[in-house]
Amino acid sequence: MTAGPFPNRRISVVGTSASGKSTLARRLSARLGLAYFELDALHWEAGWTEAPDELFRERVSKAVAGDSWVVDGNYSVARDLVWSRAQVIVWLDPALPVILRQYAGRTWRRVRTRQELWPGTGNRERASQLLRRDGLLWWILSTHRDRRRRYTALLAARPDLTVVRLRSMSAADRWLQGLMGD
């Protein structure tokens, strides 16, 4: 199956937490007719237990074994598996205030609706977790700047990959529309 003028069939979407990776990856998957895999769904077990690295890598290997897919996530333990098969890396890199606004809206909705994040895990965001030092907000604040530096270096070291760096959701929307010549 081909999708218009965009010949790349293996796409990794990366970015800091709450940058919009999953939203863009799902839209990209639907638009291009590609399988979609969320690394968080392969990583998290019931009760917020992390899958052992070996099991997680096995799951990721199976996901990226196909000829066409969109994967979103940032797990360094599996980066080699994803990036060795990827043709394109889409890096969502909005400013921190944008990420914090997206985090707040998304988290409030998830807490209010008690949305299960990955079916069958029972994992839900809770208000009691929001300000914990091991919570997602703390993670975003403590990793955003370093992740930006790290991705700049990691991607510069991979000239074999096409890199698309998008600094806003409007830029992501324009890029996505342009894929099909809209």
Tell me, what DSSP letter sits at residue 121?
A: S
Q: Is 124 helix (H, G, I), strand (E, B) or coil?
A: coil
At residue 84, the pLDDT reads: 97
Q: Is residue 23 part of a domain?
A: yes
Q: Which of 165, 18, 15 is nearest to 75 (CA)?
A: 15
At residue 144, the pLDDT reads: 87
At residue 165, the pLDDT reads: 96
> Based on the structure, what is the number of domains in the chain?
1
* Backbone dihedral angles phi then psi of residue 25, each to the nearest 5 degrees: -65, -40
At residue 181, the pLDDT reads: 61
At residue 4, the pLDDT reads: 41
Q: Is residue 4 part of a domain?
A: no
Q: Is residue 3 part of a domain?
A: no
Q: Is residue 164 part of a domain?
A: yes
Q: Is residue 2 part of a domain?
A: no
At residue 1, the pLDDT reads: 27
Q: Is residue 5 part of a domain?
A: no
List per-residue pLDDT tens for the chain, 182 residues long.
233 446 789 999 999 988 999 999 999 999 999 999 999 999 999 988 999 999 999 999 999 999 999 999 999 999 999 999 999 999 999 999 999 998 888 888 887 888 888 888 878 787 767 666 677 788 888 888 899 999 999 999 999 999 999 999 899 999 998 886 65
- Own/partner pairs for 75-84, CB < 8 Å, 24+ apart? 75/39, 75/43, 77/53, 78/39, 79/154, 81/57, 82/12, 82/39, 83/12, 83/158, 83/161
Residue 90: CB atoms within 10 A of its CB come to: 25
At residue 95, the pLDDT reads: 94
The residue range of the domain holding 55 is 10-179
CATH number of the domain to which 48 belongs: 3.40.50.300
